[in-house]
Structure 1
Amino acid sequence: MREPHRTDSATATRDTRPVPCRPADARRTVRHAVAERCRDRALTCAGQALDDALLVTSELTTNAILHGGGITGFDVAVDSGGVRVSVSDRSDDVPVATARPDEPDRCAAGGRGWPIVCRLARDVRVACLPCGGKCITAVVPLR
């Protein structure tokens, strides 16, 4: 079951735009939410932390499109703990990091997204949704 996000509206910025169809749309939404939060709270949110949040967003949305039957839900919240990105898709399959048999061929596409997410995010959770599918939530620290 999907766990609800508990964010205090006085201390968090949420972006409630429509569900993005492309990773670029999701990145734009995250960039906007972080910019709003940093402007409202006078925080330093640029640089590597923002780049990490955008990369995690790209990987989660791309994986939802390629392996999960498409993006069915998207949420971003920014608070003092970082950028919380949640992406839902139609698949019940939980992502796994597997050893690639072609590891010597570093030019081969695919297989690197989930390890990138797990490395950059402080907290990653996968929750099964009641009507099928899953929601992956990753928290990327801003500092």
Structure 2
Amino acid sequence: MNDTKVTNTVATLRAMGDSSADVCRARELARVFAESLGPSPATDVMDTLVLVVSELVTNALRHGGGRYTLELSADEDAMRVAVSDPNPAHPREVTPDLNGGSGGFGWHMVRHLTDEVTITPGPRPGKTITAHIARAAGPSMD
């Protein structure tokens, strides 16, 4: 079940999933969430939000125990993506696989596309990764 609450420019949305089909659904929810904000973020900021949601949800499914809880929230300054999973292990930096298709790009992208990323223990025994994205403009890739 998804709950969306909007009060002026403050909004929250919560969703849960446990299959790879949910990654597409999470991306769609992120886009609809961003479009519901007033004012809507610029297209590039919205695309960043969708990509960060996709990567964090994919990582939770692949490395975090096979299920996740996604919470999106926003205020007038920033959007926050919080993804919880049952695995307490933090993401690892790995060298991206340019030839074999085994991944390694997601965590790098999340860290470079967001303004701040925090990892907190819980809910037990897992962790929650929270990424902050400014609504006005994202960080420079330089």
What residue ranges of structure 2 are gaps of 5+ in the alignment?
A: 1-5, 137-142
Between the aligned partners of 2:92 and 2:105, the Cα distance in structure 1 is: 11
Between the aligned partners of 2:79 and 2:27, the Cα distance in structure 1 is: 12
* Alpha carbons of structure 1 residues 130 and 29: separation in structure 2 relative to 1, 3 Å: closer
Answering whether residue 109 of structure 2 is matched by residue 111 of structure 1, we say no
Give 2:16's aligned amino acid.
V
Tell me the equivalent position of 1:11.
9
Secondary structure, counterpart of 1:19 in structure 2: strand
Between the aligned partners of 1:64 and 1:140, the Cα distance in structure 2 is: 19
Greater percentage in strand = 2
Between the aligned partners of 2:73 and 2:65, the Cα distance in structure 1 is: 24
Q: TM-score, normalised by structure 1?
A: 0.79
Which residue of 66, 72, 92 corresponds with 2:68?
72
Q: TM-score, normalised by structure 2?
A: 0.80
Tell me the equivalent position of 1:30.
30
Which residue of 125, 130, 134 corresponds with 2:127?
134
Between the aligned partners of 2:52 and 2:61, the Cα distance in structure 1 is: 14
Between the aligned partners of 1:130 and 1:61, the Cα distance in structure 2 is: 16
Shift of 1:70: 2.0
RMSD between superposed Cα atoms in Å:
2.0
Shift of 1:9: 4.6
Q: Whose relative contact order is higher, 1 or 2, with alpha carbons under 8 Å and at least 6 apart?
A: 1
Between the aligned partners of 1:20 and 1:27, the Cα distance in structure 2 is: 12
* Alpha carbons of structure 1 residues 45 and 71: separation in structure 2 relative to 1, 3 Å: same
Between the aligned partners of 1:136 and 1:9, the Cα distance in structure 2 is: 25
Count of paired positions: 127
Answering whether residue 54 of structure 2 is matched by residue 58 of structure 1, we say yes
Q: Computing the radius of gyration over CA atoms, which structure comes out larger, 1 or 2?
A: 1
* Alpha carbons of structure 1 residues 139 and 15: separation in structure 2 relative to 1, 3 Å: same
Give 2:11's aligned amino acid.
T
What residue ranges of structure 1 are gaps of 5+ in the alignment?
A: 1-7
